[in-house]
Structure 1
Amino acid sequence: MTVSDPVVESVVATISRSATEIRQGLIGRRGTVDEENPSGETQAEADVWADELLGDRLAAIDGVGQYASEERAEIVDCGDDPSSTDAYAVAVDPLDGSSNLKSNNAMGTIFGVYDAALPARGDTLVAAGFVLYGPITTMVIATDELITEYELSGGERTVVDRDVTLPAEPVVYGFGGRVPDWPDDFRAYAREIESELKLRYGGALIGDVNQVLTYGGTFGYPGLESRPEGKLRLQFEGNPIGYVVERAGGRSSNGSQSLLTVEPDDLHDRTPVHVGNEELIDRLEDALA
């Protein structure tokens, strides 16, 4: 199965073909480099390597005007005019959860294809998705037309679910940040949720969100007392994940509105991120109002 837009399909095919190589390339790249990314986080050797690999390949696609990565301070001009209706901008978190490398736990790759120059609102996305490097390498792709899950092997995609939808009955939850750093209103909401659902939190956004897509429930990384703006990046994580979950029938929120309607000021803007079943996100927004 392919995506109908040829440029988007080229982006998806490039990421899916690269995923097996990225997974294999993690071996021997579990250390850190003596540099920080634009968000001030220590970079893993694998972060830099995956970014360079994806950046070179995605920037070479005809119809891609910009490439941006969580690991780079600046947008890469790929040659096509990003303001043109024929050019897309691709934003990537090359290795989400790379801090899990040391303990050999789940990681992923997140991407969003924007029909606008970056930084852009999430409602300009035409496709978004992620690769999960779990026991099996899987890929979820959302477009305006459909949301599909694949298994990846040898550069090939095999359909697992042609119409991914969020289960109606929520089962799991996962909340990030240190509990003493949670604002009181979010802490009260979290206490309610943890009495109703099962905790699933692994420290990699993709793994935690995929639990929600699989079983229903909610994931949240709230604004903290020490960091009200949140931890996750809007362009590279919040918007793509919000797009996927909303296409699957759920909701996304920064605490007061859909992530897809947040106006960005900067390429590396941070945001609180909450996704999941509609009723749970409604309750979150009521709690934080």
Structure 2
Amino acid sequence: MTVSDPVVEDVVSTISRTATEIRQGLVGRRGTVDEENPSGETQAEADIWADELLEGRLTEIDGIGEYASEERATVVDCGADPDGDAYAIACDPLDGSSNLKSNNAMGTIFGVYDAALPARGDTLVAAGYVLYGPITTMVLATEESVSVYEMSGGERRLVQSDVTLPEEPVVYGFGGGVSNWPDEFEAFAREIETELKLRYGGAMIADVNQVLTYGGIFGYPGLESRPAGKLRLQFEGNPIGYVVERAGGRSSNGHRSLLTIDPDDLHERTPVHVGNAELIDRLEDRPT
């Protein structure tokens, strides 16, 4: 199954081919380097390698004006105007790379924006993620629908189309140290833990995929020590918010949809909450 927009299809096909190499190339790249990303986090060798691999291929696509990632400080200019006929790509090349040490799930997140970066989430025309689990899968959201593919040999095979969140939520996962949660979020979390099953693995992609599969809520709130939270709006919040909203759920920074936030900085952080609409409504309705 191909995407109707030929440029977006080129992006998705390129990421499909590259994802197989990224997964295979993780072997031997589990260590860290003596460098930090623009957000001040220690980089894994695999972070830098995956970013360079994606940047080298995605920037060669006709119709792509900008490339940006969590691993580099500035936007790469590809020579076309992203405010004209070109798109901009923002990605997290290896979400959950800290899981390399323990050999747990991780993934690649991408968003295709019809605007220069940093951009609002409602300018996305497609977004998705690759999950490196027992099976390598891609979840892709476009203006038409949300689809799931299995990945093998650089190719993708459609296994589910018109994906929607199950109506009855089952799982939840909340990030950040519990002792660092604001009181209002902790009160909400204590309600949720009596209703749903905990699923939290340290890679947002894996946790969100549980929510998309079974229904529920994922959240990484603002913390007492870090009110803006940990996750980046351009590379994580917007693409994942787009996927979940296209699947019939909601996204929120605790007050409104992630897709309506006007960004001030390429690496701007935001609290991220995604899941079934009723659960996000309850989160936003709590007194602050």
- Whether these two folds match at TM > 0.5 is yes
Q: 1:257 & 1:56 partners in 2: Cα distance?
A: 35
Deviations 1:3-61 (A, max 9, x none): 00000000000001111100000000000011000000000000000000000000000
Deviations 1:228-250 (A, max 9, x none): 01100000000000000000000
Equivalent residue of 2:24, what SS?
helix
State the partner residue of 1:210: 209
Moved more, 160-169 or 128-137: 160-169
State the partner residue of 1:280: 279
Equivalent residue of 2:286, what SS?
helix
Conservation of the 8 A alpha-carbon contact between 1:186 and 1:288: no
Q: 1:23 & 1:278 partners in 2: Cα distance?
A: 33
Distance 1:288 1:91, change over 3 A: farther
Q: Is residue 181 of structure 1 aligned with residue 180 of structure 2?
A: yes
Q: 1:15 & 1:158 partners in 2: Cα distance?
A: 14
Q: Is residue 105 of structure 1 aligned with residue 118 of structure 2?
A: no
State the partner residue of 1:172: 171
Equivalent residue of 1:49, what SS?
helix
Conservation of the 8 A alpha-carbon contact between 1:256 and 1:288: no
State the partner residue of 1:255: 254
Conservation of the 8 A alpha-carbon contact between 1:255 and 1:288: no
Q: 1:163 & 1:197 partners in 2: Cα distance?
A: 25
State the partner residue of 2:270: 271
Counting only pairs closer than 5 Å after superposition, residues 31-42 of structure 1 correspond to structure 2 as: 31-42=31-42
The alpha-carbon deviation at position 156 of structure 1 amounts to 1.0
Deviations 1:91-147 (A, max 9, x none): 010000000000000000000000000000000000000000000000000001111
Deviating 4+ runs (over 6 angstroms): none
State the partner residue of 1:17: 17
Q: 2:227 & 2:182 partners in 1: Cα distance?
A: 9
Q: 1:145 & 1:135 partners in 2: Cα distance?
A: 28
Q: Is residue 58 of structure 1 aligned with residue 58 of structure 2?
A: yes
Unaligned runs of 5+ in 1: none
Q: 1:82 & 1:201 partners in 2: Cα distance?
A: 36
Counting only pairs closer than 5 Å after superposition, residues 70-109 of structure 1 correspond to structure 2 as: 70-84=70-84, 86-109=85-108
Q: Quote the RMSD (CA, aligned, Å).
A: 0.5
State the partner residue of 1:225: 224
Q: 1:73 & 1:115 partners in 2: Cα distance?
A: 21
- TM-score when scaled to structure 2? 0.99
Distance 1:99 1:288, change over 3 A: farther
Letter in 2 for 1:39: S
Conservation of the 8 A alpha-carbon contact between 1:31 and 1:44: yes
Q: 1:235 & 1:178 partners in 2: Cα distance?
A: 23
- TM-score when scaled to structure 1? 0.99
Moved more, 184-193 or 74-83: 74-83
Counting only pairs closer than 5 Å after superposition, residues 104-183 of structure 1 correspond to structure 2 as: 104-183=103-182
Letter in 2 for 1:138: T
The alpha-carbon deviation at position 287 of structure 1 amounts to 1.4
Unaligned runs of 5+ in 2: none
Counting only pairs closer than 5 Å after superposition, residues 231-242 of structure 1 correspond to structure 2 as: 231-242=230-241
The alpha-carbon deviation at position 223 of structure 1 amounts to 0.2
Between the aligned residues of both structures, percent identity stands at 82
Q: 1:4 & 1:20 partners in 2: Cα distance?
A: 24
The alpha-carbon deviation at position 288 of structure 1 amounts to 4.7
Deviations 1:213-264 (A, max 9, x none): 0000000000000000110000000000000000000000000000000110
Equivalent residue of 1:284, what SS?
helix
Letter in 1 for 2:66: Q
The alpha-carbon deviation at position 163 of structure 1 amounts to 1.2
Equivalent residue of 2:259, what SS?
helix
The alpha-carbon deviation at position 81 of structure 1 amounts to 1.4
State the partner residue of 2:7: 7
Equivalent residue of 2:21, what SS?
helix
